[in-house]
């Protein structure tokens, strides 16, 4: 066997597009020993890929260790399934990710249970699997090497995508050989109002490396983002209107609250207008954030605006009965779960209301249904028909992902880029971004990760790409 074939890592993806994130790496050492590890193991959320949730496509008993980039359910939601199928080894994450993982998985188990009941199926996993999963999670510090097994060290680096989010550098070493370095960006953002995002240490930019690069917005530049949220909201409150803002519970809810604080401070909206906050998990994270449980900037600890009222099941009716101008910040971000399911039908027929989505709305969600329905059209929500009279607006300005131009700038800083594998994006977006990298970045090779191919990488870069077996 030639030298090239003695020491390598095969990188593959179980996900074809954005959700269900799961990268599988097989390492072969010069001694002949082989082992496997996983980076993220998320739930599929696109309706067309949902069936993939049932099969892991690998035997969890063969996996040596797992790494977690961040706590979104489409990156962690199938770890309990691995555990249910017998996985009992370690799962490494940052300490801030570990802190929110239980709540995120607990909530996911609840959604899974309800969906299974509706469909008369067995749930994918249950609460006990979530508890067992959490016993395996090891919280790590940013910027320090963690020795996860013989020949493998990993380091978590800051990433603005979410509280606790990381980029993960995996160093595979063997005596007498150069290292194989794999850098997983996870979902990546270069900025976050709450977090100090330390740049990667200089030495990382100089190592020979393969980057597994996300590409959610691989076909959009930051200059194409239209900022309309503040204008829309200020206009509506001036007219005495009602504003409903569906948000994701972690990150987005806190960011929107902070934005309302700024608007109050600048006198753009009156602090007399009550700001109702609804959604159990969102409130829990907001309080954790306020209590300084995440590593947030000191000046951001007072991010709550005045006149915030936390709402629960028993007080929800008071919110609806309050006839004054008001703001309701509620989960879920796409409108299909949580108390948004009550507020949206309540206000969709009210021409004095503005329903303002603040992020991506996937096919099949309430947010998308409303987007596709023209003003005055009848929409069906939970089997009931409503005439759409409220203003419904959308913006992508709060996106937690870097845009194509920002990712290109990131990649350009590496001086020894062996290979870029474009990951985590719709098929066309990944291809467009791969071409752009080839033209603008000094990378020796560029590939697209999906379910079709896996990539064999040695210390000097790409060796080969082959069709995956699990298709
Ligand atoms: Zn994410
Ligand atoms: Zn993601």
* Cβ-based neighbour number of residue 171 at 10 Å: 17
Closest CA to 424 of 435, 411, 433: 433
Average pLDDT over residues 137-142: 98
- Please identify which residue in the block is written with the tokens 């067992």: 132
Which helix (H) or strand (E) element contains residue 345? helix 340-347
Reduce the DSSP state of residue 444 to 3 states and report it.
Answer: strand
Centre of ligand 2 to C-alpha 61, Å, is: 25
- pLDDT band for 376, please (50, 70, 90 cuts): confident
Q: What is the pLDDT of residue 267?
A: 97
Tokens of 224: 């194409």
Q: Which ligand has the minimum distance to the alpha carbon of residue 42?
A: 2
Centre of ligand 2 to C-alpha 44, Å, is: 10
Write down the number of H helices and E strands in the chain: 13, 23
Q: Which ligand has the minimum distance to the alpha carbon of residue 17?
A: 2
Average pLDDT over residues 369-391: 89
Q: What is the pLDDT of residue 222?
A: 92
- Cα–Cα distances in Å, from 239 out to 52, 233, 234, 294, 392? 48, 10, 9, 37, 16
Centre of ligand 2 to C-alpha 145, Å, is: 24
Q: What is the pLDDT of residue 470?
A: 67
Centre of ligand 1 to C-alpha 189, Å, is: 10
Q: Are residues 443 and 329 in the same domain?
A: no
Q: Provide the residue range defining the domain that includes 36.
A: 3-220+400-467
Tokens of 268: 């753009």
Average pLDDT over residues 197-209: 96
User: How far is the C-alpha of 405 from the C-alpha of 219, rounded, in Å?
Assistant: 9
Centre of ligand 1 to C-alpha 70, Å, is: 7
- Cβ pair 202, 386 in contact under 8 A: no
CA dihedral angle for residue 118, residue 122, residue 125, residue 126, rounded to 10 degrees? 70
* Strands 378-381 and 353-357, sheet pairing: unpaired
- Number of Cα atoms under 13 Å in the Cβ half of residue 357: 22
Q: Is pLDDT of 47 > 80?
A: no
Q: Are residues 59 and 195 in the same domain?
A: yes
Considering just the CA atoms, what is the radius of gyration of the chain in Å? 23
Centre of ligand 1 to C-alpha 41, Å, is: 12
Q: Are residues 354 and 449 in the same domain?
A: no
Q: Is pLDDT of 284 > 90?
A: yes
- Please identify which residue in the block is written with the tokens 């948004």: 340
Q: What is the pLDDT of residue 360?
A: 80
DSSP 398-418: T-SS-BHHHHHHHHHT-SSEE
Centre of ligand 2 to C-alpha 251, Å, is: 14
User: How far is the C-alpha of 132 from the C-alpha of 89, rounded, in Å?
Assistant: 11
Q: Are residues 390 and 249 in the same domain?
A: yes
Q: Are residues 271 and 312 in the same domain?
A: yes
Q: Are residues 304 and 405 in the same domain?
A: no
The last residue of one of the domains, among 376, 394, 412, is 394
- Cβ pair 295, 281 in contact under 8 A: no
Q: Are residues 196 and 232 in the same domain?
A: no
* Strands 353-357 and 326-330, sheet pairing: unpaired
* CA 303 centroid distance within chain: 22
Q: Which ligand has the minimum distance to the alpha carbon of residue 104?
A: 1
Q: Are residues 299 and 216 in the same domain?
A: no
Q: Are residues 336 and 211 in the same domain?
A: no
Q: What is the pLDDT of residue 365?
A: 85
357: domain CATH number is: 3.40.50.10890
Q: Is pLDDT of 364 > 80?
A: no
- What percent of the chain has a predicted confidence (pLDDT) above 90? 85
Angle at 331 between CA 328 and CA 335, to 5 degrees: 100
User: How far is the C-alpha of 35 from the C-alpha of 33, rounded, in Å?
Assistant: 7
Centre of ligand 2 to C-alpha 14, Å, is: 13
Q: What is the pLDDT of residue 2?
A: 54
Q: What is the pLDDT of residue 409?
A: 97
The last residue of one of the domains, among 375, 394, 413, is 394
3-state helix, strand, coil split of the chain in percent (to 5) is: 30, 25, 40
The last residue of one of the domains, among 366, 394, 422, is 394
Q: Are residues 82 and 187 in the same domain?
A: yes
Reduce the DSSP state of residue 440 to 3 states and report it.
Answer: helix
Q: Are residues 72 and 177 in the same domain?
A: yes
- Please identify which residue in the block is written with the tokens 């996985």: 87
- pLDDT band for 188, please (50, 70, 90 cuts): very high
Average pLDDT over residues 39-57: 86
DSSP 350-389: -TTEEEEE-S---TTSHHHHHHHSPTT-EEEETTEEEE--
Q: What is the pTM of this model?
A: 0.93
Centre of ligand 1 to C-alpha 281, Å, is: 17
Q: Which residues surround ligand 1, an ion (CB under 5 A)?
A: 72, 187
pLDDT digits 0-9 by tens, 258-273 = 999 999 999 999 999 9
Centre of ligand 2 to C-alpha 18, Å, is: 6
Average pLDDT over residues 359-370: 85
Q: Are residues 8 and 125 in the same domain?
A: yes
- What percent of the chain has a predicted confidence (pLDDT) above 70? 99
Q: What is the pLDDT of residue 72?
A: 93
Centre of ligand 1 to C-alpha 177, Å, is: 35
Domain count, the chain: 2
Centre of ligand 2 to C-alpha 398, Å, is: 15
- Cβ pair 275, 329 in contact under 8 A: yes
Centre of ligand 2 to C-alpha 266, Å, is: 34
Tokens of 375: 């003003």
User: How far is the C-alpha of 371 from the C-alpha of 459, rounded, in Å?
Assistant: 48
The overall average pLDDT reported for the chain is 94
């Amino acid at each position: 066997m030639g030298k090239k074939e003695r020491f390598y890592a095969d990188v593959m993806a179980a996900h074809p597009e954005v959700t269900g994130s799961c990268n599988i790496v097989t390492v072969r050492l010069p001694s002949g020993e082989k082992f496997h590890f996983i980076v993220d193991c998320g739930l599929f959320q696109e309706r067309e890929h949902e069936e993939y949730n049932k099969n892991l496509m690998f035997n969890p008993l063969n996996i040596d260790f797992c790494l977690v980039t961040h706590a979104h359910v489409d990156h962690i939601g199938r770890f309990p399934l691995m555990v249910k199928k017998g996985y009992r080894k370690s799962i490494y994450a940052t300490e801030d990710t570990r802190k929110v993982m239980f709540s995120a998985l607990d909530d996911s188990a609840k959604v899974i249970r309800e969906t299974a009941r509706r469909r008369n199926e067995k749930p994918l996993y249950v609460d006990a699997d979530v508890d067992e999963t959490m016993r395996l999670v090891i919280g790590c510090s940013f910027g320090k090497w963690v020795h996860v097994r013989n020949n493998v060290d990993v380091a978590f680096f800051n990433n603005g995508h979410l509280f606790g989010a990381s980029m993960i550098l995996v160093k595979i070493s063997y005596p007498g050989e150069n290292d194989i370095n794999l850098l997983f960006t996870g979902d990546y953002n270069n900025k976050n109002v709450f977090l100090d995002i330390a740049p990667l240490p200089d030495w990382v930019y100089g190592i020979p490396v393969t980057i597994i690069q996300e590409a959610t917005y691989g076909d959009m530049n930051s200059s194409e983002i239209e900022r309309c949220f503040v204008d829309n909201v200020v206009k509506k409150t001036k007219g005495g209107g009602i504003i409903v803002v569906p948000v994701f519970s972690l990150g987005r809810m806190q960011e929107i609250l902070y934005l309302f604080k700024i608007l109050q401070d600048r006198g753009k909206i009156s602090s007399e207008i009550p700001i109702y906050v609804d959604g159990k998990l969102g409130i829990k994270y907001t309080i954790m954030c306020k209590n300084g449980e995440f590593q947030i900037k000191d000046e951001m600890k007072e991010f709550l605006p005045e006149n915030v009222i936390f709402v629960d099941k028993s007080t929800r009716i008071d919110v609806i009965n309050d006839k004054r101008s008001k703001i309701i910040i509620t989960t879920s971000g796409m409108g299909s779960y949580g108390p948004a399911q009550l507020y949206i039908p309540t206000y969709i027929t009210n021409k004095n209301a503005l329903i303002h989505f603040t992020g991506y709305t996937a096919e099949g969600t309430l947010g998308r249904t409303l987007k596709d329905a023209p003003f005055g059209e009848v929409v069906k929500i939970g089997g009931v028909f409503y005439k759409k009279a409220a203003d419904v607006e959308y913006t992508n300005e709060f996106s937690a992902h870097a845009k194509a131009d920002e990712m290109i700038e990131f990649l350009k800083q590496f001086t020894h880029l062996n290979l870029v594998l474009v990951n985590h994006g719709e098929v066309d977006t990944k291809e467009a971004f791969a071409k752009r990298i080839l033209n603008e970045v000094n990378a020796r090779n560029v590939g697209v990760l999906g379910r079709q191919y896996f990539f064999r990488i040695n210390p000097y870069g790409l060796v080969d790409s082959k069709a995956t077996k699990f298709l």
